[in-house]
Amino acid sequence: MKDVFVSGWYGYTELFSGLSEDFEFAVPFITHSLSDIDELMEEGGKNLFAWSTGAFLMLDRQKRPNFENIVLISPFKKFTSYTPERVLEIMIKKFVDFPEKVASDFIKRCGCEGTPEYNPQHFHILLHGLRFLLRTDVEELEWSLEGVKVLHGTEDKIVDVQASRDMVWETDATLYEIEGAGHWIKPDILSKYKI
C-alpha cells in the first residue's frame, strides 16, 4: 500500500529528508497538479501526510481521502484568518521582485532546518501558489475527521496553533501540539505518527 505526502508552498522534498523518501511526495502546482493530487486521494493507501497548503487541500475535499492513516500538519481552513491578508499581499508583491529572498525568509519563519535551492523556473508556479492562499476558505468540512491526527507546532509563526485548536473543536480529529515546533515539524517527529 502506498504512502503519500502532500506538501505546502515551497515545500520541496529536502525539507522532509529522512521521511520524504518513504512517500510519494507531491508539491502542489509543482510536481503534481490538483487533479493529480485528487487521483492520489482516490487511489488511497496506508499513510497520508499533508502539510500546510497540502493539509488545506485535504480539508477542502468533498470526501475523505482513501487512506488508513491521515495526518494533517499545520493545517488551516482559511489562511488569512491567521496570517493577515495584507501581510500575504506584501509577500506576493515582494516575491515578484525578490523571489529567492521571500522564499528563504518564509522557510526561516517556518522554523525549517536548511533552505531548498530556489529554482527560477518555478517562479510563476510559486507566485500562483501565494495567490491561491488568498482564496483558501473551507467554510464547512464535507467529510468526517474521525481518526485524523492533527499535528501543529506551538511556536508556528505562519499559521497559529489556534487554527488547529479551532478545527479540532468542531470535529472528531485528535490534536497533537508539538512543543517548541514552528510551522515545519522535524521529519523524525512526523515519522512517529506513521503506521
Q: What is the pLDDT of residues 37-66, one digit of tens each?
A: 999 999 999 999 999 999 999 999 999 999
pLDDT value at residue 153: 98
- The answer to whether residues 72 and 148 touch, using CB atoms and an 8 Å cutoff, is yes
CATH number at residue 86: 3.40.50.1820
Percent of the chain whose pLDDT exceeds 90 = 94
Full domain range(s) for residue 51: 4-193
Instruction: Output the pTM of the full model.
Output: 0.96
Regions of the chain short of the pLDDT cut 70: none
pLDDT value at residue 18: 86
Helices within the chain (DSSP H only) = 34-43, 53-59, 85-97, 99-110, 123-134, 162-170, 187-190
